[in-house]
Structure 1
Amino acid sequence: MADKRGMSYRKRVEDINRIYDRYARSGLSNREIWRRYIYPAYWISERTFYNIMNATAGLETPVVASDMPSLFDFADENPEKEDTDE
């Protein structure tokens, strides 16, 4: 089953997991990590935080900034007919 969520969701999941991994090793509880580091940055509820942590299993490939589309990617989609010498 394909994931129907967009790239911004995938990037947010990766960012939240990166923050979690950084502070989980220090011995902080999940609630403390959410309260100190996740909530101030992303304004998500604790329940959403746990859902995002579970969503990690569905993401096989990591998201990098170069995967995100840019406005420049769409600039030449409909190029106008160039003037030609006839």
Structure 2
Amino acid sequence: MRKHRKIVGRSYLYRVDDIIRIYDEHSRSGLSNREILRRHIWPKYHICEKTFYNIINASAEPRIIEGLKSINTQLSLF
């Protein structure tokens, strides 16, 4: 049986990138994950705690890492 690779959309990659950026920015200040979610991520993205942890875990998957690299290295015309 062949395993299907799930296609990751650009909007999902941008959201993961921004949530990880916000999390990294505030995790060094000593706030708990729940407080970071409530104070800084929820007002912008309105995601639940389970979704937050899924995004944190997804950021370590190879297909997400490849997608984030391609977004950051993509050339623009202007």
**TM-score bucket (shorter structure):** 0.7 to 0.9
Query: Which residue does 1:81 correspond to in 2?
Result: none
2:49 to 41, 46, 66: 46
Shift, 1:60, TM fit:
2.0
The separation in 2 between residues aligned to 1:2 and 1:23, in whole angstroms, is 33
1:14 paired to 2:13: no
Q: How many residues align?
A: 68
Shift, 1:4, TM fit:
1.5
| Uncovered stretches (5+) of structure 2, i.e. residues with no partner | none
Report which of the two structures shows the higher radius of gyration computed on alpha carbons: 1
Query: Which residue does 1:5 correspond to in 2?
Result: 8
Shift, 1:41, TM fit:
0.3
Counterpart residue identity of residue 2, structure 1: R
Name the SS of the counterpart of 2:7 in structure 1.
coil
Higher normalized helix content (fraction of residues) = 2
Q: TM-score, normalised by structure 2?
A: 0.76
Mapping of residues 7-86 of structure 1, within 5 Å? 7-58=10-61, 59-61=64-66, 62=68, 63-64=71-72, 66=74
CA displacement, residues 43-77 of structure 1 (integer Å, 9 cap, x when unaligned): 1111100000000012223234x57xxxxxxxxxx
CA RMSD of aligned residues (A): 2.2
Shift, 1:15, TM fit:
0.3
Give the percent of matched residue pairs that are identical in Structure 1 and Structure 2.
53
